[in-house]
Chains A and B, each alone.
Chain A
Amino acid sequence: LAKTTQPISMDSYEGQEVNITCSHNNIATNDYITWYQQFPSQGPRFIIQGYKTKVTNEVASLFIPADRKSSTLSLPRVSLSDTAVYYCLVGVGAAGNKLTFGGGTRVLVKP
């Protein structure tokens, strides 16, 4: 069971970079690491996904060290609209691994 651990909350200011680290010590070989964003009264929304090293898209970067036991979501130059809960998800469901969301990190972006 690929369990994840994230900080409960994090505050930042507009224009700053936010880095959220997720621990997943028992990640399996076939597991991917995926991050989702959730606003109140909405379902989670995909942000980024990776397997190893670094992945970058238009909204975020994902850093994964060689041992893959943790990952860091980086949000560059956050705005007030980035205030949300961010979830780290590990697993693809194959080989008996359950899809597990972490507890989520509440990010509050202040003006």
Chain B
Amino acid sequence: EAGVVQSPRYKIIEKKQPVAFWCNPISGHNTLYWYRQNLGQGPELLIRYENEEAVDDSQLPKDRFSAERLKGVDSTLKIQPAELGDSAVYLCASSHSLEGNEQFFGPGTRLTVL
């Protein structure tokens, strides 16, 4: 069974440029998560989807970040415009249910903003 797929794996952009990350969760997983992980820190939840509905986006900086999961399957996280402080690893995870869920993580996208 294929795991969570993320692309690109690495992205280098200049500040003020837009950037988008894509995630394809494990087939059948209805819950999808986007995390940001800064160097030396634990992952920080940005947004959680239950099917196509964003059920927790309180940690998403909505002035510049947006996310969508239109058909309840794959998802895109966008930053526009990017700032220097956005440099981090962006992780996508998926799980089958909310109760006692095990999250399966993708390899992440390492973003460097110059």
Give the residues from 17 to 65 in chain A that come closer than 8 angstroms, CB to CB, to chain B.
32, 34, 36, 41-46, 49, 51
Of the candidate stretches B66-74, B77-85, B98-106, the one touching chain A is B98-106
In the bound complex, what is the Cα–Cα distance between A92 and B48 (angstroms)?
11
With A93-B98, A98-B56 as known contacts, state yes or no: A46 contacts B104, CB within 8 Å. Answer: yes
- Is A101 in contact with B100, judged by CB distance below 8 angstroms? no
Please name all residues of chain B whose beta carbon is closer than 8 Å to the beta carbon of A100 when the two chains form the complex: 45
A94 within 8 A of B: yes
B43 within 8 Å of A by Cβ? yes
Bound together, the chains give a CA A51 to CA B93 distance in angstroms of 22
Please state if A44 and B43 are interface contacts (CB–CB under 8 Å).
yes
Q: Count contacts between A and B, CB distance < 8 Å.
A: 57
**Contact B98 A92, beta carbon cutoff 8 Å:** yes
Interface residues of A, dominant DSSP: loop
Instruction: Find chain A residues with CB under 8 A from B41 CB.
Output: 103-104
B100 contacts A32, CB within 8 Å?
Answer: yes
Known contacts A93-B48, A98-B56, A98-B59; is A43 also within 8 Å of B102 by CB? no
Q: Which residues of A contact B59 (CB under 8 A)?
A: 98
Interface size, A (range): 20 to 34
Q: Is B53 an interface residue (CB 8 A)?
A: no
Interface check B27, CB cutoff 8 A:
no
B48 and A99 contact, CB distance less than 8 A: yes
Asked if A45 meets B105 with Cβ closer than 8 Å, knowing A99-B33, A99-B45, A99-B48, the reply is: yes
10 closest residue pairs by CB, A with B: A43-B105, A101-B42, A46-B102, A104-B42, A32-B100, A99-B45, A101-B43, A44-B105, A43-B91, A87-B42
Which residues of B in the span 19-77 have a Cβ within 8 Å of any Cβ on A? 33, 41-45, 48, 55-56, 58-59
Partner of B56, one of A32, A44, A93, A101: A93
> Would you call A49 and B102 a contact (CB within 8 A)?
yes
